[in-house]
C-alpha cells in the first residue's frame, strides 16, 4: 500500500527523474500534466494523496503557487514541495508556510528527504487527529 504523491511536471525528462526518486523512496507518483487536472484530483478526493510536488510554470491557467494554495484549502497541513529554476526566487513571496522549495537541478535525495521531513512532522502534529 504505497503512499501516493501528486506530481505536476510537464518536462518528461524531469518526470522520469522524479518518478524514479519517489519509487526508490517507497512513494508512488501520480502524474498530473496541468494545474487544473491537479486541482480537480485534489478536490475530488477520490484518491488520498499524501503530498504535492509541483513545478511553478504549468500548462494551463494555474501556476504551482495557485495549486498549492488550492491543496491547502482542502487540507491546511498538506505537505507541499515546489521545484523550480528561475521562479525559486519568488518562494519567499508566493510559497505557503511550511513548504520546501527545491531549486533545479536538485539531487534525488533532496526530494525524498524533503517529502519525508514534511510527512514526519505532519504525522507528529496530526497523530491525535486520525
Considering only 1, 12, 46, 61, the residue that binds its own copies (CB under 8 A) is 1
- Identify residues 57-76 at the interface with its own copies (CB under 8 A): 69, 72-73, 76
Half-sphere exposure of 8 (CA within 13 A, CB side): 31
CA 82, 85, 91, 94 torsion-angle sign? negative
Residue 39 burial by Cβ neighbours in a 10 Å radius (0-12, 13-18, 19+)? buried
Using the rule CB under 8 A, is 114 a contact of its own copies?
Answer: yes
Query: Rounded to the nearest whole angstrom, what is the least distance from the CB of residue 64 to its own copies in the complex?
Result: 13
Query: Rounded to the nearest whole angstrom, what is the least distance from the CB of residue 54 to its own copies in the complex?
Result: 15
Considering only 35, 64, 79, 95, the residue that binds its own copies (CB under 8 A) is 95
Query: Rounded to the nearest whole angstrom, what is the least distance from the CB of residue 74 to its own copies in the complex?
Result: 10
d(CA 86, CA 57): 10
CA 28, 110, 125, 44 torsion-angle sign? negative
Reading across the β-sheet that carries 3-8, which strands appear in turn? 27-32, 3-8, 51-55, 80-84, 100-103
Using the rule CB under 8 A, is 13 a contact of its own copies?
Answer: no
Query: Rounded to the nearest whole angstrom, what is the least distance from the CB of residue 35 to its own copies in the complex?
Result: 16
Task: Return residues touching its own copies (CB under 8 A).
Answer: 1-3, 21, 24-27, 69, 72-73, 76-77, 86, 88-103, 105-110, 112-117, 119-120, 123-125, 127-130
Amino acid at each position: 500500500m504505497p503512499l501516493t504523491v501528486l506530481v505536476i511536471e510537464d518536462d518528461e525528462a524531469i518526470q522520469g527523474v522524479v518518478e524514479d526518486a519517489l519509487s526508490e523512496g517507497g512513494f508512488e507518483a501520480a502524474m498530473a500534466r496541468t494545474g487544473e487536472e491537479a486541482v480537480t484530483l485534489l478536490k475530488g478526493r477520490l484518491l488520498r494523496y499524501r503530498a504535492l510536488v509541483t513545478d511553478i510554470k504549468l500548462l494551463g491557467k494555474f501556476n504551482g503557487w495557485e495549486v498549492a494554495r488550492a491543496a491547502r484549502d482542502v487540507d491546511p497541513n498538506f505537505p507541499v514541495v515546489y521545484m523550480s529554476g528561475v521562479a525559486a526566487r519568488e518562494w519567499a513571496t508566493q510559497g505557503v508556510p511550511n513548504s520546501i522549495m527545491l531549486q533545479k537541478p536538485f539531487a534525488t535525495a533532496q526530494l525524498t528527504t524533503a517529502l519525508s521531513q514534511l510527512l514526519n512532522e505532519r504525522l507528529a502534529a496530526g497523530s491525535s487527529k486520525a
